[in-house]
Amino acid sequence: MNTRLLLLCSIVSAGMAADLPYVGKWKPNLAKSDFGQTFMTLESLPGGEWQSTAFGITYKFKMDGKDYSDSLGGAVAWKAIDASTWEMVAKANGKVTETDTFKLGADGKTLTDNAKQMKAGGGSIESTTVYERVSGGPALAGKWKTKKVSGASGILEMTASGSGGLIFKDLDMGMSCDAKLDGKDYPCQGPLMPPGFTVAMQSAARSLDVTVKKDGKPFFKATYTVSADGKSMTETGSTASGSDQFKIVLDRI
């Protein structure tokens, strides 16, 4: 699961940048985070086709190992390894960004996703997501609810930029966003992400409201709040429709 697509904040003036609580490096603390209201639905359709819906993203594919559009400008390739194991490879800009291996539990009630997210500079970040079945079946088909996320996580960095701006970087994905706090959309780019993502932001003393868009359409929204001691920051967010909700706690490093 990737819940770190965009995490942005901005400033009112360059003279305040050094005092802003958001500036610095942050690392998600998965043990303290809550993904319990995020879901993944996999539907088996006629003609050997499948449909995946997760975090507001819907696309169709076949279990043939071929690339299919992920509806975000990237591609996904699914294949069955055996009767209880499936592999999904995601790509952006022609490069592999993530490989996921899904394993069905013996009772058919749990699904474990071992994910390997590629770093822009080489290497990978590995994490595990355990889902529990909400409905549907058999095997992979059904609606799945996130039960637990564990493993490694990437590093986020925020630095002041010019007058009233801030640069956000995902150091592992190689993603960078340079934005101002004026309610306008600003682009994010990187070698491992599709084009067309933008952010618009509004800020208070210790919190920041962010709306992420893809090709001009709202994608997800979040509020980031820095703790009183400045040692942690909490992201409370959801898809644009509100169908999936999450809380990510980040520790300052």
Of 18-27, 39-48, 200-209, the range with the highest mean pLDDT is 39-48
Asked which of 151, 170, 202 is the last residue of a domain, the reply is 151
Band (pLDDT 50/70/90 cuts) for residue 7 is very low
- Our count of domains for the chain comes to 2
Q: Is the pLDDT of residue 73 over 90?
A: yes
Range of the domain at 105: 38-151
Question: Quick one: average pLDDT of 177-205?
Answer: 87
Residue 114 domain flag: yes
Inter-residue contact 178 to 11 (CB < 8 Å): no
Considering the entire predicted model, what is its pTM? 0.87
- The answer on 96 and 26 residing in a single domain is no
Tell me how many degrees the CA angle 220-225-231 measures, rounded to the nearest 5: 130
The mean of the pLDDT values for the chain is: 88
Residue 193 domain flag: yes
- Type of residue numbered 221: K
Q: Is the pLDDT of residue 116 over 90?
A: yes
Residue 9 domain flag: no
Asked which of 124, 151, 178 is the last residue of a domain, the reply is 151
Question: Quick one: average pLDDT of 14-21?
Answer: 48
Q: Which CATH number fits the domain that encloses residue 227? A: 2.40.128.20
- The answer on 208 and 146 residing in a single domain is no
